[in-house]
Amino acid sequence: MKLSLLPLSVASLLTLASCATEKQTPTLKDHFADDFLIGAAINMNHVKGLDPGSDSIVRRHFNSIVAENCMKCEEIHPAEGTYFWDDADAFVDYGVRNNMAIIGHTLIWHSQLAPWFPVDSTGAYVSADVLKERMRDHITTVMTRYKGKIKGWDVVNEAIEGDGSYRKSPFYEILGEEFIPLAFQYAHEADPDAELYINDYGMNMPAKREAYVRLVNDMKSKGLRVDAIGMQSHMGMDYPDFKEFEESIEAFASTGCNVMITEWDMSALPTISRSANVSDSVVYNTLFNPYPDGLPADIADRWNSRMDSVTDIFLRHKDVITRVTAWGTHDGMSWKNDFPMKGRVEYPLLFDRDCNLKPFMQNRLDNASDRQI
């Protein structure tokens, strides 16, 4: 059939032009190509096409993805001997289809742990041997299924408290400190080629930093594989102290591990103290959800400036930072909305609710492309 070239309408010409322009618009993964992987946590809305804005952002701007929830124990292993693979399979397939570095999150974590995992039929903690076997089965079954597709795993998440002590999780209560090296041993046996990470928040805190340096040095001295220390990097307008944060990057790198920024976001709202009486509606509406309809310009400027400073820190340490992952794509999908109370509207991510890149980052891309022309 002879295809005649249809006269292009003005609209088609404009679309072609905009697509062409879009192709020339720099992307995050191009901008940071020589620095570190850049990625985001994605959820099933992205994967199932229910959030086309996020899908477009992920495919254009990122070269790495991490599972926000679908690989957590309560989701993927809801009952003993019963695994739910559909969502995790869809997540991995999405990453493979889009040629992404895929990160598994997370194998051993006290939160979103399937309720059955640490207890027997009476609700009492199982024995050390039973828990070891359950950990080995979980880690081996999950990692084996995705062998060769997952670049690396958050093997253990949030195991140390801010004062450097071990979190009194069921894993610690039953196995003591041993649960962490055991998890890494099982993970390496399950997939010898996968990278293995230990991950936590508040990693700027000196006591926590020192505890992880001791722990990782000890595991490595015993011949265990630990490829990176993950700094979740959930930030606010008044935390973390940047000097402490950088000292942690340097301390973690001193173990010989890479450093990964694994869950980066920055709250633009007032930090709520743990003791805050968030059920008080007056307090809620004024103090803790002050910008339900958008950030005032001065707050947005301060947020952008602070995020720009953090980006400078990442680039200063790009010799040891191998991945920067935001914990989400655009503000509308962030876990920080409705946290810690329903209805709270947050603005913590790299893209706004209209899927526009935030000014601090757009300026970096524009200035870089200016330099290249």
Binding site for ligand G3I (CB under 6 A): 68-69, 111-112, 157, 201, 232, 263, 335
Burial class (CB in 10 A: 0-12, 13-18, 19+), 218: middle
How many whole angstroms separate alpha carbon 291 and alpha carbon 56? 27
For residue 78, the number of C-alpha atoms closer than 13 Å in the C-beta half-sphere is 6
> DSSP string spanning 53-116?
HHHHHHHHH-SEEEESSTTSHHHH--BTTB---HHHHHHHHHHHHTTPEEEEEEEE-STT--TT
Characterize 123-141 residue by residue with b for buried, 16 or more Cβ atoms within 10 angstroms of its Cβ, and e for exposed: eeebeeeebbebbbebbee
The catalytically annotated residue of 68, 195, 263, 346 is 263
Residue nearest ligand G3I by beta-carbon distance? 335
Alpha-carbon separation of residue 314 from 66, 259, 327 (angstroms): 19, 10, 16
Nearer of residues 311 and 337 to ligand G3I, judged by Cβ:
337
To ligand G3I, the closest distance from the beta carbon of 41 in angstroms equals 6
CA dihedral of residues 19, 24, 28, 30 (deg, nearest 10)? 130
Query: Residue 38 or 76: which CB sits closer to ligand G3I?
Result: 76
* Nearest to ligand G3I of 252, 327 (CB atom): 327
**Contact assessment for residue 253 and residue 229, using Cβ atoms and an 8 Å cutoff:** no
Task: Find the shortest distance in angstroms from Cβ 261 to ligand G3I.
Answer: 13
**Residue 106 contacts residue 67 (beta carbons within 8 Å):** no
Are the C-beta atoms of 314 and 36 separated by less than 8 Å?
yes
Nearest approach, Cβ of 363 to ligand G3I (angstroms)?
A: 28
277: phi then psi, degrees, rounded to nearest 5: -85, 80
| Residue 126 or 350 having the CB closest to ligand G3I | 350
Choosing from 68, 158, 195, 346, the catalytic residue is: 158
Compare residues 110 and 132 and give the one whose CB is closer to ligand G3I: 110
CA–CA separation, 225 vs 221, rounded Å?
Answer: 10
Report, in Å, the least distance between residue 353 CB and ligand G3I. Answer: 17
Assess whether 247 carries a catalytic annotation: no
The minimum distance between CB 200 and ligand G3I, in angstroms, equals: 8
Backbone angles phi, psi at 3, to 5 degrees: -90, 115
CB of 254 to ligand G3I, least distance (A): 24
Closer by beta carbon to ligand G3I, 199 or else 258: 199
263 is catalytic: yes
Supply the residues annotated as catalytic. 158, 263
